[in-house]
Structure 1
């Protein structure tokens, strides 16, 4: 620390989280970004209504009941002796920001007790809106206690007068009305994704220009604010509506993989309680203990009460569906449950399969060595299909080129980074697996890092969760499944029109359709 910073107040970084809009991963990701980009000693605080899943190193404070509600609660930072930090600096950061450069600018201009980012709205430029953006501000605790004191004296009156058009900027309007002179962070350090990153495209005559080009922040920017929609994960891998793909989000909006990683395992089950026991035992045998398993009972007719009584470890979450929807719908239920709960990676395990005891531990080693990848795939062992082809060395693969049309074959163990699954789910039209669209959509976002560990033991049984239906006929059993055989290749062509193998296999599947129709009607 240089001499000019020796006499500055102690620095505290603060974020607020309540409700369900922002999962705990937003806090953990912000914590990691601050650690990477702030060289000045600091303490990271989070005021929240739920402390579950927060990374070690975050000082958690339960959200107090003050009579102030909604976005206005962020103004409690202005309380006298807030969190016992009287005279210290508190920098409040919104959860929907992406840190792209050094945050050391936060301690510049020490002569000012209150600094804030400029508001970029049209109203602010016209002089009719809030002058500052609450996405980033710095306050010397105790210096502006009147802000909070006046608010709690007549909170309802403040809301009625200052709430704003969408009732989401009231606290900014309150600051604008009660702080006579604003001082701002250095120009260009805090920018708007919507206004400064060439992010917005347009829809014209059926053409969406957001598909062309990328959103890029200004070179001098340190913080990009995603006020409103979209949120950072929405544009991490592709465009989102009229908003362009922002590769800088994937580069920066990520938790540290050197910290403790948490895995979520989704286990659909249907009428196989005895097999399920083996699957659950394989999780208890894992050499890495930081996982949670969501067991989704797909409206089984078999008795599972003994399972739930036997497995009381709080890492097991049992969910029972009211109606049977098949493996894809059950997996989606599991993914949805895990979303927003601090899970870093998700994996699927069928109820008749088991993980190798070192699966998660070995995976962590690969994940940390290759932090640029969000999808990891490894081998199975045990029963093998005749077409099985294993991963022989660690390498980057493409699902379309190497799996659908290449030499790689057979079921594999998969680990998906949680943000990768944002907006993508399995096709619930199919009772059996039919995961091709799910995998193609994921592969359009990221390549796959494949490694040769034997991670999952597969078993292939009639009935239950893997096959979904019984019978000797192994071909398509519904019109939908027949259509999906050639639909898969048409979907590849729509995404990658120069994949010539897709045209070949599309034609072959169409030629097989008459025979399949005959077999279908003869069942």
Structure 2
């Protein structure tokens, strides 16, 4: 049986995906498959991937552009491994990435989740850590920093396709809850085996803020009454407001802040609403600094 199924969603990353795939070909642990899901690329991605397909472990799946969450779910549907991992097409992993995961699962039964640390291209390393609002276990949620057993990823029905931002965090929150309820082990490795490339440039920042605004409203509605992220529902609403303002949708952001104040009256929500009417303070507090 295949131990690890690795899923790489990609869109117009023909100039970057080789780096990710080559890092997998250097793995010291070899029982894996790679499923590359091309989300409708219009560049030379397919030609680049073709060069790797002489390795029988590598499969290429093309779909009409449907978003990263749909692409990852398509990969899940194709996966044959006992454990599923995700990797973004502009990131890399160390040669011991899979071996370190295997060492921790090989002699342990009923494993649901394992996380490792992140080595940022720019910034400090991040080891798995506890977020007590979600779990008492250490974990990470960046693609490449965690694996899920097939029963977990199938049990939670994969990614929420309505999300273009916060989709990994939300997926991991559900996976942690599922593992706890079903008494599956949640483990971590104190090694930074994911080399994470967080790129920032104005166009991408705008799109990210737009998607954060949408995600905030969507998650507020999804978890309003219950669910693992119910505790964060008002923070989602504030997230939607501030990120709307960041993309210059100031009236929309103010409407959301009014809703927040009505739903959760208090000094903090009143202050946020007040700031939305004062351009210099609004700019200082919330606008992205170049």
Q: TM-score scaled by structure 2?
A: 0.71
* Unpaired runs of at least 5, structure 2: 181-185, 251-290
Aligned to 2:95: 357
Q: Deviation per CA, 1:386-415, whole angstroms, max 9, x where unpaired?
A: 7x74238xxx98781358xxx977736111
Q: Deviation per CA, 1:79-107, whole angstroms, max 9, x where unpaired?
A: xxxxxxxxxxxxxxxxxxxxxxxxxxxxx
Are residue 300 (structure 1) and residue 49 (structure 2) matched?
no
Q: Quick one: structure 1 residues 361 and 409, their matched pair in 2 at CA, closer, same or farther if it must change by over 3 Å?
A: closer
Matches within 5 A, 1:6-17: none
Residues of 1 paired with 2:5 and 2:65: CA distance?
A: 23
Are residue 510 (structure 1) and residue 237 (structure 2) matched?
yes
Residues of 1 paired with 2:77 and 2:173: CA distance?
A: 20
Aligned to 1:197: none
Are residue 314 (structure 1) and residue 47 (structure 2) matched?
no
Aligned to 2:148: 416
Q: How far off is 1:305 after superposition?
A: 4.0
Q: Is the 8 A contact 1:296 1:320 kept in 2?
A: yes
Matches within 5 A, 1:118-137: none
Larger radius of gyration: 1
Q: Is the 8 A contact 2:70 2:161 kept in 1?
A: yes
Aligned to 1:391: 128
SS at structure 1 position matched to 2:162 = coil
Q: Is the 8 A contact 1:327 1:433 kept in 2?
A: no
Q: 2:134 aligns with which of 400, 404, 409?
A: 400
By percentage of residues, which structure has more helix? 2
Q: Is the 8 A contact 1:292 1:315 kept in 2?
A: yes
Residues of 2 paired with 1:414 and 1:304: CA distance?
A: 25
Q: Quick one: structure 1 residues 302 and 377, their matched pair in 2 at CA, closer, same or farther if it must change by over 3 Å?
A: same
Kindly report the root-mean-square deviation, in angstroms, between the aligned alpha carbons of the 2 structures.
3.3
Q: How far off is 1:273 after superposition?
A: 1.4
Are residue 435 (structure 1) and residue 168 (structure 2) matched?
yes
Residues of 1 paired with 2:91 and 2:133: CA distance?
A: 23
Q: How far off is 1:446 after superposition?
A: 1.1
Q: Quick one: structure 1 residues 282 and 400, their matched pair in 2 at CA, closer, same or farther if it must change by over 3 Å?
A: same
SS at structure 1 position matched to 2:191 = strand
Residues of 1 paired with 2:57 and 2:221: CA distance?
A: 39
Aligned to 2:193: 455
Residues of 1 paired with 2:111 and 2:145: CA distance?
A: 16
Residues of 1 paired with 2:241 and 2:152: CA distance?
A: 38
Q: 2:20 aligns with which of 279, 282, 296?
A: 279
Residues of 2 paired with 1:413 and 1:379: CA distance?
A: 6
SS at structure 1 position matched to 2:16 = helix
Aligned to 1:495: 227
Aligned to 1:374: 112
Q: Is the 8 A contact 1:385 1:410 kept in 2?
A: no
Matches within 5 A, 1:139-218: none
Q: Is the 8 A contact 2:116 2:192 kept in 1?
A: yes
Matches within 5 A, 1:22-171: 53=1
Matches within 5 A, 1:464-503: 470-472=204-206, 474-477=208-211, 480-484=214-218, 486-487=220-221, 490=223, 494-495=226-227, 503=231
Q: Quick one: structure 1 residues 282 and 331, their matched pair in 2 at CA, closer, same or farther if it must change by over 3 Å?
A: same
Q: How far off is 1:507 after superposition?
A: 3.4
Are residue 290 (structure 1) and residue 290 (structure 2) matched?
no
Q: Deviation per CA, 1:197-221, whole angstroms, max 9, x where unpaired?
A: xxxxxxxxxxxxxxxxxxxxxxxxx
Aligned to 2:288: none
Q: Is the 8 A contact 1:399 1:443 kept in 2?
A: no
Q: Is the 8 A contact 2:114 2:139 kept in 1?
A: no
Aligned to 1:425: 158
Q: TM-score scaled by structure 1?
A: 0.41
Q: How far off is 1:444 after superposition?
A: 1.9
Residues of 1 paired with 2:140 and 2:45: CA distance?
A: 34
Q: Deviation per CA, 1:248-286, whole angstroms, max 9, x where unpaired?
A: xxxxxxxxxxxxx52100000111112110111111100
Q: Is the 8 A contact 1:325 1:431 kept in 2?
A: no
Q: How far off is 1:297 after superposition?
A: 0.7
